[in-house]
Amino acid sequence: MPRTALTVGTCHAEPGQITYGSFEGPSLPTGGSDSLAVIMAQGKEDGPVLWLTANIHGNEVCGIPVIHRLLTAELCAHLRGTIVAMPTLNPSGLRTHRRHPYYDDRDPNRTFPGLRRETGEPREPTVYERLTARLLEAIRGSASYYVDLHTASILSVPFSIRDRVLYRKESEKAAAVALSEQLDEMTAAFGFPVVMEYRVGGYVAKELHRSTTGAALQELRLPAFTVELGPHTIVDERNVGAAIIGLRNLLRWAQMLGGEPEVMPALPRPATRQRLRREDGPYPPAAGILDYRVKPGDTLAAGGVMADLCDLWGRPVGDGVIRVQAESWVIGLEDGILAYPGAAIAHVAVIEDSPTVDVWPA
């Protein structure tokens, strides 16, 4: 299909223009449907197609103004190819300011087609699984690249999440390596600090292969990654501006936009240049009240103290501190000050020592 003939839902691309439409969402018992807004910006020359989405978690709002501010008439005038943008993948969550849509109790970012946990029981696809199956087919039919915009905890730094590429047969390994190398180039062009996803076992157990970009990468073999834009609930202006620069630089890398790369503003970055992997933790040994000693963007040496732990009277619980096991770059602190056994108090990035291309677990 020629790029100039691109249609997603009711939105039809027009060379040199920004066009608007919708993608039909779940039907509502009260009538109508929860349609997704679609915006297309198309250049006058054919070229690649970048899909750009945001707000699959309804309280993660920072990506919406990124899309609105990126897609301008000036950008369109210099663009080669097409940007397909959806400012919210979760209109019901956006309306109610909740992470999940109120008509489906699953994390919407674990509902895209892909290997599912086997329960041994028959089950029908959920409301949101039906939507994401159609959405992934629309991506399959047009996308060259895909970026999904998220936010993390209230106290968190901006970074990109890069999945490892999984393959099933040895004959698929070479293509997986090539895709992985392309993904490295893509995230480097965007310019945020890059953090690998969890190790393979945790990745599949958490169903991250059924996330937006996880499904695009693993099922469609499409270069795709996730951007975390700092705190949920609010719009961080610094991170919005940085994301717009990152996306324009990504367009230049993809030969969809001319000119030299723009300088990325100063962002918190890890002390090491080694590859990093996302990890939950540390975990408190008992319930208590947290008093964090660090802020997002800090680096802790192995054994470093992340937080003090006391009871409600201010008396130390255990030895009174919670430490990290390995050298850790703090990417986000959990909301609030309450500690419970088995609940991570932060999200960190640790040095990655496993391959970026791996075999699907049995």
What's the pTM?
0.96
CATH 2.40.50.100 residue ranges of the chain are 276-351
| Side chain identity, residue 106 | R
User: What percent of the chain shows pLDDT beyond 90?
Assistant: 94
Q: What are phi and psi of 350, to 5 degrees?
A: -120, 160
Q: Give the pLDDT score at 211.
A: 98
CATH 3.40.630.10 residue ranges of the chain are 3-253
With cut-offs at 50, 70 and 90, classify the pLDDT of residue 1.
very low
Q: Spell out the alpha helix ranges (H) of 33-141.
A: 63-70, 73-78, 91-96, 127-140
Q: Give the pLDDT score at 117.
A: 72
Rounded to an integer, what distance in angstroms lies between the CA atom of residue 28 and that of residue 33?
Answer: 5
Q: What are phi and psi of 78, to 5 degrees?
A: -110, 0
Q: Give the pLDDT score at 295.
A: 97
Averaged confidence pLDDT in the chain: 96
| Side chain identity, residue 281 | G
Q: What is the pLDDT of residues 95-147, one digit of tens each?
A: 999 999 999 989 999 999 987 777 777 888 999 999 999 999 999 999 999 99
With cut-offs at 50, 70 and 90, classify the pLDDT of residue 2.
very low
Which residue is associated with the tokens 């890398």?
253
Pick from 261, 264, 236: which is nearest to 251 by CA? 261
Domain covering 276-351 in this structure, CATH number: 2.40.50.100
Q: What is the pLDDT of residues 219-274, one digit of tens each?
A: 999 999 999 999 999 999 999 999 999 999 999 999 999 999 999 999 999 999 99
The widest CA-to-CA distance across the chain, in whole angstroms, is 68
Q: Which SS3 state, helix, strand or coil, does residue 164 take?
A: coil
pLDDT at 4 over 80: no
Q: What is the pLDDT of residues 190-234, one digit of tens each?
A: 999 999 999 999 999 999 999 999 999 999 999 999 999 999 999
Q: Give the pLDDT score at 362.
A: 82
Q: Give the pLDDT score at 74.
A: 96
- Looking at the structure, give the CATH architecture of the domain made up of residues 3-253: 3-Layer(aba) Sandwich (3.40)
